[in-house]
C-alpha cells in the first residue's frame, strides 16, 4: 500500500458563511488535484466551524457564579469558561486549571472544543460544528470525493502532545474490525479493532500543521469499503470506558 498525503496549499483563509466546498473545489482544481471517489479529504474542524458560523461572541456571554469562581482561581476568562460549560454535558476532570469535558456530542476533550486561535478577534471563539458527521456528509456530496473526515486536535491521557482525531466522518467505516480474522499463523486476533479514521486524521494532521500547514488535506492510495460511516462509532460507550 502506498499512501499520498498532501495539503491544499492555495486554500484561502476561510471566513464565516463561506461556501467551504466551493473553496476546496477551486483550490483542488488550481492545484490539479482531482477529487474523485478514490480520494479521502480531511478538513480541520476550525474551518468547518468558521464556514458554518459555529462561532461564539464572548461579549454576549454572562458567566455563572461557578464559571467566575473557577476562572478566578486559574486566571482564565470567565466568559470562556461559561462557554465551555455550555458546550458540555458532563465534566470529566476539572483540576490544575485543566477542564476536560464530555461535549454535547459525547466527545471527551479539553475545553469542549472551544478555541480562540486563528479567529482574529479576542472576543470570538469557535465551537465545534453542531453535527460534524452532517458537515462531512455535505462536503462529501459537494466534492464528489470518496470520504470526508472532519478532524480536530485532541490531547490524550498518559501521553504528551496533541494528535488529530476524526470528529466527523462520511463515506468510511471509522473502525476496522479484525476480530475473528487470523494472524499469519492462523491465531485468531481477539481484540483488534483499528481506529482507521483516527489514524487517517493523524496522518492528515502531519500536513495540517497549526500555524503554517493547510487545513484541507487529500489522502490518496488508501483503500476502504464504501460505507456511510459516523464518528459516533469512535466514542466509547460508558460500559467500556474505564476512565470516565
- List residues binding its own copies (CB under 8 A): 1-7, 13, 93, 95-96, 98, 100, 108, 110, 116-120, 122, 153, 156-165, 174-176, 178, 181-185, 187, 189, 191-196, 198-200, 202-203, 205-207, 209-211, 213, 222, 233-236, 240-243
Between 55 and 162, CB nearer to its own copies: 162
Between 64 and 224, CB nearer to its own copies: 224
Rounded to whole angstroms, the Cα distance separating 152 from 29 reads 25
CB neighbourhood size of 235 (10 A): 15
The answer to whether the beta carbons of residues 119 and 55 sit under 8 Å apart is yes
Residue 170 C-beta: closest distance to its own copies, Å? 18
Residue 76 C-beta: closest distance to its own copies, Å? 11
Residue 128 C-beta: closest distance to its own copies, Å? 15
Q: Which three cell numbers stand for residue 74?
A: 486559574
Rounded to whole angstroms, the Cα distance separating 231 from 189 reads 24
- Which one-letter DSSP state was computed for residue 182? B
Residue 68 C-beta: closest distance to its own copies, Å? 21
Between 62 and 212, CB nearer to its own copies: 212
Rounded to whole angstroms, the Cα distance separating 209 from 216 reads 11
Upper half-sphere CA count for residue 14 (Cβ side, 13 Å): 29
Amino acid at each position: 500500500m502506498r499512501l499520498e498525503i498532501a495539503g491544499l496549499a492555495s486554500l484561502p483563509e476561510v471566513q464565516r458563511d463561506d461556501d467551504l466546498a466551493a473553496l476546496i473545489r477551486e483550490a483542488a482544481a488550481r492545484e490539479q488535484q482531482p477529487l474523485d471517489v478514490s480520494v479521502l479529504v480531511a478538513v480541520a474542524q476550525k474551518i468547518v466551524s468558521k464556514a458554518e458560523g459555529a462561532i461564539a461572541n464572548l461579549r454576549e456571554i454572562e458567566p455563572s457564579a461557578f464559571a467566575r469562581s473557577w476562572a478566578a482561581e486559574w486566571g482564565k476568562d470567565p466568559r470562556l469558561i461559561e462557554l465551555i460549560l455550555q458546550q458540555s454535558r458532563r465534566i470529566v476532570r476539572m483540576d490544575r486549571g485543566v477542564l476536560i469535558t464530555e461535549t454535547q456530542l459525547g466527545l471527551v476533550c479539553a475545553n469542549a472544543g472551544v478555541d480562540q486561535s486563528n479567529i482574529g478577534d479576542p472576543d470570538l471563539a469557535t465551537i465545534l460544528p453542531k453535527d460534524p458527521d452532517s458537515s462531512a456528509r455535505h462536503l462529501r456530496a459537494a466534492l464528489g470525493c470518496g470520504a470526508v473526515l472532519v478532524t480536530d486536535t485532541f490531547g490524550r491521557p498518559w501521553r504528551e502532545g496533541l494528535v488529530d482525531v476524526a470528529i466527523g466522518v462520511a463515506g468510511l467505516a471509522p473502525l476496522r474490525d479484525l476480530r475473528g480474522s487470523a494472524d499469519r499463523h492462523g491465531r485468531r486476533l481477539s481484540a483488534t479493532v483499528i481506529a482507521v479514521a483516527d489514524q487517517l486524521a493523524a496522518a492528515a494532521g502531519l500536513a495540517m500543521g497549526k500555524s503554517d500547514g493547510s487545513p484541507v488535506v487529500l489522502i490518496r492510495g488508501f483503500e476502504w469499503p464504501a460505507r456511510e460511516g459516523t464518528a459516533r462509532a469512535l466514542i466509547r460507550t460508558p460500559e467500556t470506558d474505564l476512565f470516565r
